[in-house]
């Protein structure tokens, strides 16, 4: 079913807002990870870990799931389709991978936040770095954004079949 132009604009606007929100939340999470890693005071590192857990569960995960759902709705309700164009397939795959890694990684963040909450100053200083996940996530989200803006040409075999019909 193809969406009406008004519904398509509303869905697209919602998708852009959710996606930009996800990107911004990753940047905020990365800033907290940098603060936790480079902090000279244990209290600042502790608060950064506790904030990363909160942002992760209450901002990152919901925005990732909502951006995925809105993107899926747009692809199924517009001419782009879900499997007609390679750029849509790549965006879908990257979004699924990024969301899955986020959801699978969040229990470890919660565990580290709990450790940070109860740790003494020496233990806080020896906590692991959390720079890899948000740094890699930011790169993946930027690639997804670039694909959505530039929409590189290229139909999948399914797209070619639909075009010929």
Pick from 53, 20, 72, 63: nearest CA to 130: 53
Pick from 112, 109, 132, 122: nearest CA to 34: 132
How much is the mean pLDDT over the chain?
94
pLDDT attached to residue 15 = 97
How far apart CA 42 and CA 48 sit, in angstroms, is 10
Query: In this predicted model, what pLDDT tens digit does every residue of 97-145 receive, in sequence order?
Result: 999 999 999 999 999 999 999 999 889 988 999 999 999 999 999 999 9
Mean pLDDT of 50-65: 98
pLDDT confidence band for 164 (50 / 70 / 90): confident
Rama region for 151: left / alpha / beta (φ>0; ψ in -120 to 50; rest): left
Burial 99-125 (b: 16+ CB within 10 A, else e): beebeebbeebeebbeebeebeeeebe
Mean pLDDT of 59-80: 94
pLDDT attached to residue 87 = 93
Given a contact cutoff of 8 angstroms between Cβ atoms, the answer to whether 18 and 65 are in contact is no
pLDDT confidence band for 165 (50 / 70 / 90): confident
pLDDT confidence band for 80 (50 / 70 / 90): confident
Q: What is the pTM of this model?
A: 0.93
pLDDT attached to residue 141 = 98
């Amino acid at each position: 079913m193809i969406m009406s132009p008004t519904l398509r604009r509303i869905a697209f606007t919602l998708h852009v807002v959710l996606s930009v929100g996800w990107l911004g939340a990753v940047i905020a999470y990365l800033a907290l990870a940098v603060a936790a890693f480079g902090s000279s005071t244990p209290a600042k590192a502790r608060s950064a870990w506790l904030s990363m857990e909160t942002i992760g569960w209450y901002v990152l995960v919901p925005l990732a799931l909502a951006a995925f759902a809105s993107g899926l709705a747009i692809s199924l309700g517009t001419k782009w389709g879900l499997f007609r164009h390679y750029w849509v397939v790549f965006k879908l795959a990257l979004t699924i991978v990024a969301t899955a890694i986020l959801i699978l990684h969040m229990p470890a963040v919660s565990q580290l936040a709990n450790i940070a909450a109860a740790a003494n100053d020496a233990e806080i200083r020896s906590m692991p770095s959390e720079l890899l996940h948000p740094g890699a996530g930011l790169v993946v989200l930027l690639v997804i954004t670039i694909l959505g803006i530039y929409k590189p040409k290229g139909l999948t075999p399914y797209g070619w079949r639909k075009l010929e019909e």
